Structure 1
Amino acid sequence: MKRTFGSILTGIGVIFILFACIAFMSDKAVIGFTLTKWETIVPFLVGVLFLLVGVNLLGKVAD
């Protein structure tokens, strides 16, 4: 159960980080959203949080 939840959180984190990077580098709307350079910080931080929690959870399962 922990391994599945950790994998899901890690995947969501990667998706959020990729979305933030694409939105940061693009001047056009990304998937219907238009974000300024400063507004891309929020999905990036959420993605980092999900990624770190997911990796930490996977690391605890491996022990």
Structure 2
Amino acid sequence: MNMKRTFGALLTILGIVGIIWGAYAFINGGDGVAVGKFTAAVPFVVGLIFFFSGINLVKTTKDEA
């Protein structure tokens, strides 16, 4: 497996974790790290960036056999 694809998959997984963590913190009104609903959006936005950059990296990397 290509190193770029592996890194893209890792970014995608981290993005999913960030999206879930941000949504959970937003629903609960903030957690220990992110106090308040607006600061709970920070891990959500970072998760979105990681997710879409990981998906883009996986899609645009050509297979070399």
**Which TM-score applies when normalising by structure 2?**
0.81
Match of residue 41 from structure 2:
41
- After superposition, the C-alpha distances for 1:18-40 in whole angstroms (9 at most, x for unaligned) are 000110111473xx435210001
Tell me the SS of whatever aligns to 1:36.
Answer: coil
- After superposition, the C-alpha distances for 1:26-59 in whole angstroms (9 at most, x for unaligned) are 1473xx4352100012111100000010000000
Tell me the SS of whatever aligns to 2:12.
Answer: helix
User: Amino acid of the residue matched to residue 42 of structure 1?
Assistant: V
Q: Which runs of 4+ in 1 moved over 3 A?
A: none
Note the residue ranges of structure 1 that are not aligned, 5 or more in a row: none
Cα distance in 2, alignment partners of residues 40 and 28 from structure 1: 6
Identity %: 39
Larger gyration radius, structure 1 or structure 2: 2
Cα distance in 2, alignment partners of residues 50 and 34 from structure 1: 19
Q: Alignment RMSD, CA only?
A: 1.8
Match of residue 7 from structure 1:
9
**Which TM-score applies when normalising by structure 1?**
0.83
